[in-house]
Amino acid sequence: MKEQLIHDTSFKYGNNNQKSYITIHETDNVRRGAGAQNHANLQSNGNSREAAWHWQVDDKVAIQSFDHHFQLWGAGDGRGNGNLHSIQIEVCVNADSDYKKAIENTAALVKHIMKKESISSSHVNQHHTWSGKHCPRKLRDGTHGVTWNQFKKMIGKASGNHSISKAANNNSSNWTKVSGNWTGQTLGNGEYGEPVKQLQTKLANNQPPFYPNKSAENYGIDSYYGNDTENAVTRFQSYYGLAADGLAGKQVYQQLNSSSADNPSSGSGKSISKLVEETKAGKHGNGEARKKSLGSHYQAVMKVINGESSSSKQQSHAISEGSKVSANRLYTTSSSTKNVRRSSISGIVDTINAYWRNEIRLKDGNGNYIGFTRGQDLQ
Ligand SMILES: [Zn+2]
């Protein structure tokens, strides 16, 4: 383990990382020599980067670039817990690095951080958890000698005594009971009852779904507004451009009702994917008739249909790998327009990912990463 600490960066939200999670990434950079030292240098030297991460690991070494208190841009979830409250690790996948060994080193590093910062293994996440990006790619594919589950086994459950008391504080402090139906009254961490369950159900039925805990029983729909639900609400808010404060109030309620499948006003409770199928099959007609038939689901359904057809047929707006691009990015840091940051970035498109929120990696002429941007920023 090695330190090559950077004093500060503009690619951060702030300095108040609560260190509640660890996020695992892969660099996707298979170029020979693109190992941990190379990426650490990139962070140390680069001034056109659009992202930052705390650690980089390869088969030889783990190098820390930033103190854990930095809230770095890397998880693609805006002001969600991924960017704000996780420690981010890039696993190098350069062709001249032994991938399995790099994962073993990453597991050792994660265990070290879990212990040091009192983070439990259930809070060790993929980048995918936060933004839906297919990252860490090789671990997620599981076809390169080690799967995500094997990696989770490698880091074990133990994370020191601190984490147990921390978890206890989060989970068994005095829950406040709330009752009735959820009609947009503000719900938050520490509350439990029927309104919370209704919120959780709506989050899970949303298209795309925001499960409180995808791997838990019933997707974590348990009537308790704990950290998982707060996290799901924060991700939901940041996905829809709402102020991401982790509280479920009027705005969240309205957004859930306009995008969720359990809205009783139309579509008779069918999921968006079902409605998409039906629409494709012609069951909802065209034009105004389709609008009428789909009601409040019209936009969500059309978004899916248009998104699909644009990736399969209309390539005219797509950016091809290797093309030169430049883009302006806006960073909205609150629902008001006061705190909007703009920065520009240019480079050569390296990797394209089809998901809406996913970043496109940009390289300079030497093949070094210079940053990330999103497809929509380039169009
Ligand atoms: Zn990533």
Helix (H) or strand (E) holding 228: helix 227-239
Residue 293 is predicted with a pLDDT of: 80
pLDDT greater than 50 at residue 378: no
Residues 141 and 82 in one domain: yes
Confidence of residue 189 (pLDDT cuts 50, 70, 90): confident
One domain for residues 32 and 90: yes
Distance (angstroms) between ligand 1 centre and the Cα of 124 equals 13
Has residue 120 been placed in a domain?
A: yes
* pLDDT (0 to 100) of residue 111: 96
- Verify that 22 and 121 share a domain, yes or no: yes
In this structure, is residue 105 part of a structural domain?
A: yes
Asked whether residue 332 is assigned to any structural domain, the reply reads: yes
Candidates 118, 109, 116, 117; CA nearest to 155 is 109
Task: Please report whether residue 318 resides in a domain.
Answer: no
**Token reading at 253:** 């309620």
Range of the domain at 369: 324-378
Cα 127 to ligand 1 centre (Å): 5
Clarify whether residues 306 and 346 are in a common domain: no
User: What is the distance between the alpha carbons of residues 82 and 71, in angstroms, rounded to a whole number?
Assistant: 9
Most confident of 10-14, 331-335, 360-364: 10-14
Residue 352 Cα to ligand 1 middle (Å): 13
Centre of ligand 1 from the C-alpha of residue 159, in Å: 24
Å from CA of 53 to ligand 1 middle: 10
Enter the DSSP assignment of 350: E
One domain, residues 79 and 148? yes
Question: What is the per-residue pLDDT across 125-142, written as a single tens digit (0 to 9) for each?
Answer: 999 999 999 999 999 999
Residue 63 parent element (H or E): strand 62-64
Q: Which pLDDT value is given to residue 308?
A: 54
Say if 77 falls within a structural domain.
yes
Q: Are residues 221 and 332 in the same domain?
A: no
Give the model's confidence band at 121: pLDDT under 50 very low, under 70 low, under 90 confident, else very high: very high
**How far, in Å, from the CA of 49 to the mean position of ligand 1?**
15
Ligand 1 center to residue 125 CA distance, Å?
Answer: 11
Q: How confident is the model at residue 90 (pLDDT cuts 50, 70, 90)?
A: very high
Q: Is residue 84 over pLDDT 90?
A: yes
107 and 12 in one domain? yes
Q: State whether 178 and 162 are in the same domain.
A: no
Q: Which of 167, 190, 212 is the last residue of a domain?
A: 167
Same domain, 16 and 111: yes
Contact 125, 23 (CB under 8 A): yes
pLDDT greater at residue 343 or residue 168: 343
Q: Decide if 372 is inside a domain.
A: yes
Tokens of 61: 């070494």
Q: How far is the CA of 309 from the centre of ligand 1 (A)?
A: 27
- Is there a single domain that holds both residue 201 and residue 118? no
* Residue at token pair 């509280």: 247
Predicted local confidence at residue 367, as pLDDT: 60
Instruction: Supply the CATH number for residue 240's domain.
Output: 1.10.101.10
Q: Tell whether 91 is covered by a domain.
A: yes
Lowest mean pLDDT among 17-21, 36-40, 315-319: 315-319
In this structure, the answer to whether residues 285 and 236 fall within a common structural domain is no
Q: What is the pLDDT of residues 260-314, one digit of tens each?
A: 544 444 444 567 777 888 887 777 877 777 887 888 788 887 877 776 544 333 3
What span, in angstroms and rounded, lies between the C-alpha atoms of 164 and 184?
Answer: 34
Query: How many Å lie between the centroid of ligand 1 and the Cα of residue 122?
Result: 18
Domain closes at, from 140, 167, 194: 167
- Residues 51, 103 within the same domain: yes
Does 288 fall in a domain?
Answer: yes
Tell me the C-alpha distance between 142 and 202, whole Å.
31
252: CA distance to ligand 1 center in Å? 27
pLDDT tens track for 326-356 = 555 444 333 433 444 444 455 555 544 333 3
87 token code pair: 């420690």
Number of domains into which the chain is organized: 4
